[in-house]
Structure 1
Amino acid sequence: MTRIIIGLFSILIIIFLILVLFQFDFIRIYKPENLKWIPILITIIAFYIAGTICRKVNLKYTTVLLLGLFLIYVPFDSLYFPYSIYIFLFAICTLVITRKEINRKVKTLLISAVLIIFGFLLFRQPLIIKQKGFHFTKNGDLVNAKTIWNFNKVPSKKLPSETFLTIENKNFSLKVLKGKTIYLSFWATWCAPCIAEKPILDKLKREFKNNSEIVFIDISLDNDSEKWKNYLDVNKTEGIQLISRNSDKTRHNYQISGIPEHIAINAQGNFKSMYLLIAKDYLADTKKLNTFINSKLEVYERKK
């Protein structure tokens, strides 16, 4: 039992250290929270170390180490189907690889499978490194950044199939607005910057209130729906008001790293992050909006 506790503790330490590295930007990867291979790599490393520590422990007791998966699921927003299953399977395979009683051929097959699947996930998404002086342009392009690899010819940002809840607790899918231009605003009652920019957002909504082709939707990421409802009862709000059923899933689907976050969706269902202060010009010009949304992310390296 002592080895099991040490194994679980080692998983905690590894995850904590990696979170610290990301939090303080020691690992200067652009939007690591959107890279699916990072939690899987952490799973492989953490469970290999924990499994090695517990390799002499009875196999049925070793499965207790799988409780450590929740240390990965929660901070990396990975607790959704089927991604959580993938991480679970990687953890199982890694633990099996560390066992002495497992046949070498079986281990070789598992290692090969793990490397192939991990490699697929690794190169499926672009890897961009932030350099000194990294910043965004108003169009969302990246300056002082370096693309290590990017095999995506077209951004894969189609409107996800996710349903939200109305204030009457009814399901609402953005798919019913197909053919419309949608401006999404993600916020929460506990987010001070979100509340502070409400007047600017409301002004934008009023400027387009007579345009039936443009729909404004505010989506709350509150975990407490009562606080959200109370806020709407007290404060007059324009546009459609919704709340996420699963904030972690929503953050993943719309690639949200922080709030407030605003996203423009065109009539074809493609979306892209769009700063509130530049939204007016793009919403007023459909051609300009489509060009913006469908354009590939531009990355400019630091000039020496």
Structure 2
Amino acid sequence: MKKLAALLTVLLFCAAIVHAQSIQNDRLPNVQVKDLNGKLVNVNSFSNNNKPIVVSFWATWCKPCITELEAIADEYGDWQNSSGVKIIAVSIDDARTSAGIKSLVSSRGWPYEIYNDYNKDLYRALGIANVPYTLVLNGEGKIVERHAGYNPGDEHHLLDVVRKLATGR
């Protein structure tokens, strides 16, 4: 019985590694989020005409998240001109805090597509532990980079990544 339990543990561990690796180099999972009007949207429908997409996970209560999104907003027009990138900001606010999403986005004037992962299904499917958390998708919609946390200046590295994707270098 102990051998069977040990074998099952090893198999589960291997399956978790394979799953994590498949997400790392794959597309977004088949999960729905809500837009600001409450309409369900499948994340597989996120597209940008074969140009990079940045998916930023955030929350209204997360100061580093807001700081990161503000830093990007300041330069977003230039980012779009130089790389064609689209920013998609996915809030992980729950029912208790999600009422503040619309007003915060409006007050900040963020030009991003905004969604709410109201049940954290996408968050969990991607194995994210904390926000802020950023994914970069190439023009084919494949996840090519992940970044946890935010430090001032991280947005410059992010811009370098999307420019390289846009130019194919």
TM-score range, shorter chain: 0.7 to 0.9
Provide runs of 4+ in structure 1 moved above 6 Å: none
Higher relative contact order (CA 8 A, sep 6+): 2
Distance 2:139 2:115 in 1: 20
Aligned residue identity for 2:35 = T
Aligned residue identity for 1:175 = N
Q: Does 1:195 align with 2:66?
A: yes
Deviations 1:118-175 (A, max 9, x none): 221123345xxxxxxxxxxxxxxxxxxxxxxxxx6x9312211111111111112232
Deviations 1:70-99 (A, max 9, x none): xxxxxxxxxxxxxxxxxxxxxxxxxxxxxx
- Judge conservation of contact 1:180–1:214 (CA < 8 Å) in 2: yes
TM-score by length of 1: 0.45
1:182 alignment partner in structure 2 = 53
Distance 2:156 2:98 in 1: 28
Aligned-residue CA RMSD in angstroms?
Answer: 2.5
Distance 2:46 2:98 in 1: 24
Aligned residues with identical type, % of pairs: 20
Match for 1:238 among 99, 102, 111?
Answer: 111
Distance 2:119 2:51 in 1: 25
Match for 1:122 among 13, 16, 23?
Answer: 13
Please list, as runs of the form range in 1=range in 2, the aligned pairs for 1:31-180 lying within 5 A after superposition.
108=1, 114-126=5-17, 155-157=21-23, 158=26, 159-178=28-47, 179-180=50-51
- Judge conservation of contact 1:180–1:267 (CA < 8 Å) in 2: yes
- Gapped runs of 5+ residues in structure 1? 1-107, 127-151, 289-304
Aligned residue identity for 2:129 = S
State the Cα distance separating 1:114 from its structure 2 match. Answer: 4.1
State the Cα distance separating 1:182 from its structure 2 match. Answer: 1.1
Aligned residue identity for 2:112 = G
- Gapped runs of 5+ residues in structure 2? 148-153
Task: Give the number of aligned pairs.
Answer: 152
Distance 1:210 1:273 in 2: 23
- Judge conservation of contact 1:181–1:215 (CA < 8 Å) in 2: yes
Match for 1:280 among 156, 159, 163?
Answer: 159
TM-score by length of 2: 0.76
Deviations 1:262-292 (A, max 9, x none): 110113332121453301111112234xxxx
Q: Which structure has the larger Rg?
A: 1
1:267 alignment partner in structure 2 = 139
Match for 1:205 among 76, 87, 91?
Answer: 76
Distance 2:157 2:3 in 1: 48
